[in-house]
């Protein structure tokens, strides 16, 4: 399409007429939106303690990492080894770690269920 044809088409001043029932449908939707209940507000009073706790944990973790790295100085970076008492055989030590992991997971699950149960989500 050439520029002069496009100018001719755009220069025409035709009136746009909506289809029949358009105004009624639009007004119906506006009335539905006006009658809709307001959205549920976010429970900031319940979320703020968790946000603050997460921020404190992140800051404390960052400080601990920086202190650990600075304390190394010229020594080689190695991760600390956590071990159960040496009196236990190796198989029992592995079982102890598995039991500890399961206990921590169960405690997290229990806490989440308790918090969700109070809020009425379950």
* Tens of pLDDT, residues 57-74: 999 999 999 888 888 765
Distance CA 93, CA 87 (A): 9
Distance CA 122, CA 120 (A): 5
Domain ranges of the chain: 46-73+90-119
Q: Which of 82, 83, 80, 84 is nearest to 65 (CA)?
A: 80
Predicted TM-score of the model (pTM): 0.36
pLDDT digits (tens, 9 = 90+) for 92-120: 778 888 999 999 999 999 988 888 876 66
50-75: buried (b, 16+ CB within 10 Å) or exposed (e) per residue?
eeeeeeeeeeeeeeeeeeeeeeeeee
Distance CA 75, CA 25 (A): 75
């Amino acid at each position: 399409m050439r520029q002069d044809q496009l100018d001719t088409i755009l220069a025409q001043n035709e009136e746009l007429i909506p289809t029949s029932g358009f105004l009624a449908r639009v007004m119906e939707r506006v009335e539905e939106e006006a009658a809709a209940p307001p959205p549920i507000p976010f429970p900031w009073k319940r979320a703020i303690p968790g946000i603050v706790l997460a921020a404190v944990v992140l800051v404390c973790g960052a400080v601990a990492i920086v202190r650990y790295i600075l304390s190394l100085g010229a020594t080689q970076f190695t991760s600390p080894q956590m071990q159960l008492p040496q009196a236990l055989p190796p198989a029992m030590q592995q079982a102890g770690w598995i039991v500890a992991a399961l206990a921590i997971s169960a405690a997290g699950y229990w806490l989440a269920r308790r918090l969700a149960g109070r809020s009425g989500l379950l």
